Chains A and B, each alone.
Chain A
């Protein structure tokens, strides 16, 4: 699945934490640790599988399959909060 940051957000990394603001709903979110790494990798790739692969390589203790299943739900949540879009949505 192809994913991209939603156009409705502002975000920045501060002191090891990603802060995300949904400028339409005025909600704010914070991502730490692996969730933060996942978020930052979206700037490098918009392919969900590839991001999971990169994460599993960076954190060799976690397998690709494990990362994928852990992040599937998380990604759905981000999409639900309009922080991420699937690329098909953008078209």
Chain B
């Protein structure tokens, strides 16, 4: 076996503007109703199957290796397994993001046969009451706990995510222990962001007290896991968005990343190949985003700040400006001297 450094490969793709990851937000419909969810409405079941398949073929020709299906809740799409099978027949690595609520052993067995690369899901707490309070779905913890253990039984790689709010601010301790015991990947964050339509009510759920200690502790924990690599270097390519990554929303809109909701085209009006190569908006982003961010140049936090351009656009309405949510975490890290 040859060990392949996938980070190195994706970095090389980023530098060469070569597609590596394509993400489909298949729908916004969902069977849960999480209190913090950034999706304003859960009313669309997404693009026609054939359009998605055609776009998968294009992504493959553009050089993609990874494909991610997310939502809303992907298990609600009747054609989900057909789409996964189609992507696997194109020899793509398939990553799924789902709340795991409506999985069952038959579906998990099928996922295992299809050889998916990863199933990523969300656990808010190991206390069923708190988890269910956040999902506003009675019995959801019990259901997903059972399903996560079944995913393990069928040897499917699992990532567990735990967004932290005031309600579950210490949950990372037990969820991480559960992930470690079972050999799952783990991700956690204290960033709870605005809804996609600008409604900032999710901010009210953010951690109110103890943020400093929690920030420092999760920083240390996350060093042991694979996580998204955001750089503190504010010069050069900021992240993979639009450089090696592209996202197709359920209405056909194309964004550089699912966190960077900057419309660069729509696959119902054009096609992915044309957008990837010729989109004026995408090429402008590629050109401007590599320039230093003036707010950051003189900022004393720049050594610790992990700025996400998507958050800067969503929350501060300035794609090339300071990100208030990154700043909030950077201040805590700065106090801790990291």
Interface set of A (CB-CB < 8 Å, partner B)? 5, 7-15, 19, 21, 23-24, 26-30
A11–B2 CB distance below 8 A = no
Tell me which residues across on chain A come within 8 A of B93, comparing CB atoms. 10, 21, 23
Residues on B lying within 8 angstroms of A by beta carbon are 1-4, 9, 12-13, 16, 18, 60, 63-65, 88-89, 91-93, 115-117, 157
Q: Do B2 and A29 touch (CB < 8 A)?
A: yes
- Residue of A5, A14, A27 near B91 (CB, 8 A) is A5
Q: Supply 13 further A-B pairs (C-beta < 8 A) apart from A12-B63, A15-B12.
A: A7-B88, A11-B91, A12-B60, A14-B18, A15-B18, A21-B93, A21-B117, A23-B93, A23-B116, A23-B117, A28-B4, A29-B2, A30-B4
Beta-carbon contact of A19 and B65 below 8 Å: yes
Contact B1–A27 (Cβ < 8 Å): yes
Across-interface contacts of B12 in A (CB, < 8 A): 14-15
**CB pairs A–B below 8 angstroms (14 shown):** A7-B115, A9-B115, A12-B60, A12-B64, A13-B63, A14-B65, A19-B9, A21-B117, A24-B115, A26-B157, A27-B1, A28-B4, A29-B1, A30-B2
The interface residues of chain B lying within 8 Å CB-to-CB of A29 are 1-2
User: How far is A5 from B9 in the complex, measured between Cα atoms in Å?
Assistant: 23
Cα A19 to Cα B64 in complex, Å, equals 12
User: Are B91 and A10 interface neighbours, CB within 8 A?
Assistant: yes
B306 to chain A, nearest CB (A): 27
Q: Are A14 and B63 in contact (CB under 8 A)?
A: yes
Q: Point out the residue from A8, A14, A27, A30 that lies within 8 Å of B115, measured CB to CB.
A: A8
B115 and A28 form a contact (CB under 8 A): no
B34–chain A nearest beta-carbon distance, Å: 30
Q: Tell me whether A28 and B3 are in contact in the complex, defined as CB-CB below 8 angstroms, given that A14-B12, A23-B116 are known contacts.
A: yes
**Best-buried of A8, A9, A23 by chain B (most CB within 10 Å):** A23
